[in-house]
Amino acid sequence: MTWNHRQSATFMTSVLLACPVLLAFPMLLLIAIVPPGSGQSQTKKSNAAPLTPDNKNWPMFGRDVSGSHYNPDESAITPNNVAQLKTKWTFQTEGDVSSQPIVAEGAVYFGSWDAKEYAIDAKTGKKIWEYDCGQPTRSAAAYANGVVYFGDISGFLHALDSKTGAVKWKKRIDPHSYAVATSSPIYHDGRILIGVASHEEGWVMRNPQYSCCTFRGSVVALDAATGNEVWRFYIIPETPQEQGKDKKGRTIIGPSGGAVWSTVSLDPAAQRVYVTTGNQYTQPASKYCNAVIALDLNTGKEIWSYQATAKDIWTFACKDNAECSDLDVDFGTAPVFFKGAGGKRLIAVGQKSGWAYAMDPATGKLEWKTEVGPSGKLGGIEFGLASDGERVYAGISNHPKQGSISALDGATGKILWQTPDPTNKANFGPITVTGKGNDRLVWAGSVSGFIRAYDASNGKIVWQFDTGGAIGGGIAVVDGMVYVGSGYTFLRIGKGNNKLYAFSLDSNTASK
């Protein structure tokens, strides 16, 4: 069955009215069964060079394939002058803007809950084109070789000509009809890599007799030129089977779940993909849920896995399943790389439990872990994790209570500073770091609608602006400009809005 975005919105509203607490609502049909790492229409990789992240370009979700959310080359905006930032222009859509903007070749690309993807001039805010994909787009796009790639909430990946918005191809990232793309695509070496999530865990709110569940999360590599699948790694290897009945007599099908609603990170030199996974929907328990997994970049085969929280089985019908944990502590952050003790290279991940974990990327061995803030189904570390190579920066949601932004020492995991949200709201979305040395800034949005800049040396807020709507997406900072979307009402998290903002140090303002 095919839904348009209005039908999707109606379903989401009905679910939220029935149950206001959930997360990353990460949609059903019987899935094609492919063993982990076995996917295989091997295609010839492109030799074309992608756009290099620099101070003119932020071409994907985390700026680079390693997901750092760090622009060390941004030198125009510093802690000394950031207070002078003013609105340069605003661009208005017809829906919330919770897609992190990307910047490539002088254009900003972003999606909206109005079911459109936009290209606008980075300096003026003038619209270049818009593309109606029929479904909301909430995640960041990726740019490479004149093509913009992005996913929508019905599970389609779109490839568009960056200059015209013309469609090059459009493919479902998973055959399951409730699959969704909350993960942002990452381009590397002629391929697109993207995680697959689902809305199936909430389907019982729509159909009380629904037998749950058959979805299994995955990471898929697609040929960037055609959209054809190259390989796929299913988070849960086993085929879902009947597992008995729940307390209301509904058939339990499992194992299922393990949605990947985060974005993957790559280490091209080591030829590896690092992925974080979500909670399990139904039993029997799997070691791959609420986990960090390292895969071979070329084949998708598992190298190692580390599970932070075992047996986290949860759906909206949790109370009816005797094996439900009622935890729901997914991983939602892309892994980030940094230097640990003795300069050792590590990766860090953040979990809804409120804990940050650091591990050896070669082996998966845990190096340190730190409780950064409170956990919860809409708490803990949701999407907010970044690194400047020395420190790890984490945002705590703690919705609907006060969140915070923290800096952690890379060597020890010790919290160096922690700044609570002044408006007592959650810091839900991705965060960004810019500059070097004493000129480093940390950028974060709040559910209250504020975008803020923090001095990275001490966590002091040195600039803020009220956008008028909750900030659920990330912030791109390049070439002396700051770009952020406003509006996030999904899951009743915050206020709506329909604008993309651009800020600069000069006072020439415009709106579109």
Going by pLDDT thresholds of 50, 70 and 90, the confidence category of residue 8 is: very low
pLDDT of residue 212: 96
pLDDT of residue 15: 39
* Mean pLDDT calculated for residue range 445-453: 98
Say yes or no: domain 1-59+133-331 is CATH 3.40.50.1360.
no
Query: Is 157's pLDDT higher than 90?
Result: yes
- Which tens digit of pLDDT belongs to each residue from 187-206? 999 999 999 999 999 999 89
416 vs 29, higher pLDDT: 416
Distinct helix (H) and strand (E) counts, the chain: 1, 39
Mean pLDDT of the chain: 91
β-pair type (336-339, 345-350): antiparallel
pLDDT of residue 47: 47
Under a CB-based contact definition with an 8 Å cutoff, are residues 484 and 471 in contact? yes
* Mean pLDDT calculated for residue range 158-168: 98
| DSSP secondary structure code for residue 68 in this structure | -
* Mean pLDDT calculated for residue range 64-75: 97
Under a CB-based contact definition with an 8 Å cutoff, are residues 37 and 300 in contact? yes
pLDDT of residue 277: 98
Q: Is 295 helix (H, G, I), strand (E, B) or coil?
A: strand
pLDDT of residue 288: 98
How far is residue 301's CA from residue 117's CA, in Å, rounded to a whole number? 33
For residue 304, the one-letter residue type is W
**504, two tokens:** 């600069």
How far is residue 161's CA from residue 418's CA, in Å, rounded to a whole number? 43
Q: What b/e readout covers 265-280, taking b as 16+ CB neighbours within 10 angstroms? A: bbbeeeebbbbbbbbb
Give strand ranges (E) for 361-446: 366-371, 385-387, 391-396, 404-409, 415-420, 432-434, 441-445
pLDDT over 90 percentage in the chain: 87
Percentages of the chain per state (helix, strand, coil), in multiples of 5: 5, 40, 55
- Which tens digit of pLDDT belongs to each residue from 408-444? 999 999 999 999 999 999 999 999 999 999 999 999 9
**233: Cα separation from own chain's centroid:** 19
- Which tens digit of pLDDT belongs to each residue from 330-366? 999 999 999 999 999 999 999 999 999 999 999 999 9
Query: Is 461's pLDDT higher than 50?
Result: yes
How far is residue 58's CA from residue 51's CA, in Å, rounded to a whole number? 9
pLDDT of residue 52: 86
pLDDT of residue 271: 98
How far is residue 497's CA from residue 479's CA, in Å, rounded to a whole number? 26
Please name which of 379, 377, 22, 3 lies closest in space to residue 204, comparing C-alpha atoms. 22
Contacts of 198 (CB under 8 A, 6+ apart): 26, 27, 28, 176, 178, 179, 180, 215, 217, 259
CA dihedral angle for residue 154, residue 38, residue 348, residue 141, rounded to 10 degrees: -30
- Which tens digit of pLDDT belongs to each residue from 241-271? 999 999 999 999 999 999 999 999 999 999 9
Where in the chain are the domains?
Answer: 1-59+133-331
- Which tens digit of pLDDT belongs to each residue from 104-131? 999 999 999 999 999 999 999 999 999 9
Q: Is the dihedral of CA 153, 154, 160, 166 positive or negative?
A: negative
Give strand ranges (E) for 34-161: 70-71, 86-92, 102-104, 107-111, 116-121, 127-132, 142-144, 147-151, 156-161
